[in-house]
Amino acid sequence: MEYKSLKDIAQIVMGQSPDSASYNDNCDGLPFFQGNADFGEVYPTERVWCNDPKKTAEPGDILISVRAPIGALNYAKDKCCIGRGLAAIRIDDEAERNYVFHLLKARNTDLNNKGTGSTFKAIGKNVLEELAVPQIPRDEQQKCMDMMDLLESIIRERKNQIRKLDELIKARFVELFGDPEINPMNWPEQPLSERLDVLGGYAFKSENFDEESGIPVLRIGNVNSGRFKPVNMVYWNEDASLERYAIYPGDLVMSLTGTVGKDDYGNVCILGNDYNKYYLNQRNAKLEIKEGLDKYYLSQLLKFECIKKRLTGISRGVRQANIANKDILNLIVPIPPIEKQKSYSEFVEEVDKSKTAVQKSLDKTQVLFDSLMQEYFG
């Protein structure tokens, strides 16, 4: 197959951050983007403007993050200012631009492996310039991109359906119980220590993990999204002495460790039946509920920002943030009558049936998308 370097088919503009005095939030100048933190699902999210840009991207340019995490992608909706964490890739032909966009997505791991730097990893212009672009016939290229675009649109729609179902669950909570921040229905409030126990995970030795068989060990990455994700799974031989750390479908788990200032910990997950049994790793906790408290009520309550901040707002560490068992036990929350909690639980279980069906469809579509990415781009 014939290849061309990206520099042969595209203009590459490396970002340069303007003087901070030019930043503003009143739409003066151009939208300013400096990394994938600004990336929305379709176009970057406009947060800051710049009235004295140094480097700009044009409408339709591919935007790529050149600093860790390297390789995040988006398109420029309008002309915008780009900081040094971004590069703009300009290709006039729309079909070829779309093809290169997906090629860059497929080459994400390779680009990250080429990152250098001691404080944070980054790639230079030369890495992008030398990216090999397979040259395939235009009709085959178009067919490939049409299929990828179709699958991506289905993936977006499935994700949107799940978001709407989550919004429905939250709206029903507020309808039944009110905003937990102000407790307008004056439900009695109690510390969680009166309603649950907290079990911390076991400090498994990672060098002894099995990557193929055994009891799955739950780590933060498996539960931190609010649902169980079978990513980077590791296993441990069944051990009767570890029964204290055994957890099962339906149990409620919380991630305890994350990054200071980020919303990447204090997240709760009700385990599904992907496996019959799990072991709980350190930095996660099982919330063992007693009488008078329903797991679906508690799970949704802990997702409210006002409640979650009471846990994550307790600062420990400089870079790594930690929630202690006592923080959870000391958390004071509204406790409505259990009958009312149960009615909410029944509603959530019904909605979850729809969520499960949509999630299965999403997972299958994602597998097909990933398979085609591998087939087309290797």
Closest-CA residue to 226 (of 352, 357, 374): 352
pLDDT given for residue 196 in this prediction? 95
pLDDT given for residue 315 in this prediction? 56
What the chain holds in terms of domains, given with CATH numbers, is 2-135 (3.90.220.20), 137-182+337-378 (1.10.287), 188-335 (3.90.220.20)
Residue 229's pLDDT band, with cuts at 50, 70 and 90, is confident
pLDDT given for residue 1 in this prediction? 73
Q: How remote is the C-alpha of 94 from its chain's centroid?
A: 29
* β-bridge pairing 11-14 and 86-90: antiparallel
* β-bridge pairing 278-280 and 215-218: parallel
Cβ-contact 10, 90 below 8 angstroms: yes
151 exposure class (CB count in 10 Å sphere: 0-12, 13-18, 19+):
middle
pLDDT single digits (tens) 54-90 = 999 999 999 999 987 799 999 999 999 999 889 999 9
Q: In Å, how far are 131, 203, 261 from 323, measured between CA atoms? A: 43, 16, 13
Whole-angstrom Cα distance, residue 366 to residue 373? 10
Cβ-contact 211, 348 below 8 angstroms: no
Residue 232 — φ and ψ, nearest 5°?
A: 50, 45
pLDDT given for residue 120 in this prediction? 79
pLDDT single digits (tens) 167-215 = 999 999 999 999 999 999 999 999 999 999 999 999 999 899 998 999 9
CB-based contacts of 365: which residues, under 8 Å, 6+ apart? Answer: 151, 154, 155, 158
Q: Which two tokens stand for residue 36?
A: 């994938």
Cβ-contact 296, 345 below 8 angstroms: yes
DSSP state of 42: S
First to last CA, the chain: 13
Q: Which helix (H) or strand (E) holds 103?
A: helix 94-106
Residue with tokens 């149960």: 342
Whole-angstrom Cα distance, residue 76 to residue 114? 25
Lowest mean pLDDT among 56-65, 244-253, 263-272, 294-303: 263-272
DSSP 3-state of 250: coil
pLDDT given for residue 39 in this prediction? 77
Q: Which two tokens stand for residue 108?
A: 């994400």
pLDDT given for residue 180 in this prediction? 95
Whole-angstrom Cα distance, residue 85 to residue 136? 31
pLDDT given for residue 37 in this prediction? 60
Residue 134's pLDDT band, with cuts at 50, 70 and 90, is confident
Per-residue pLDDT averaged across 297-323, rounded?
A: 83
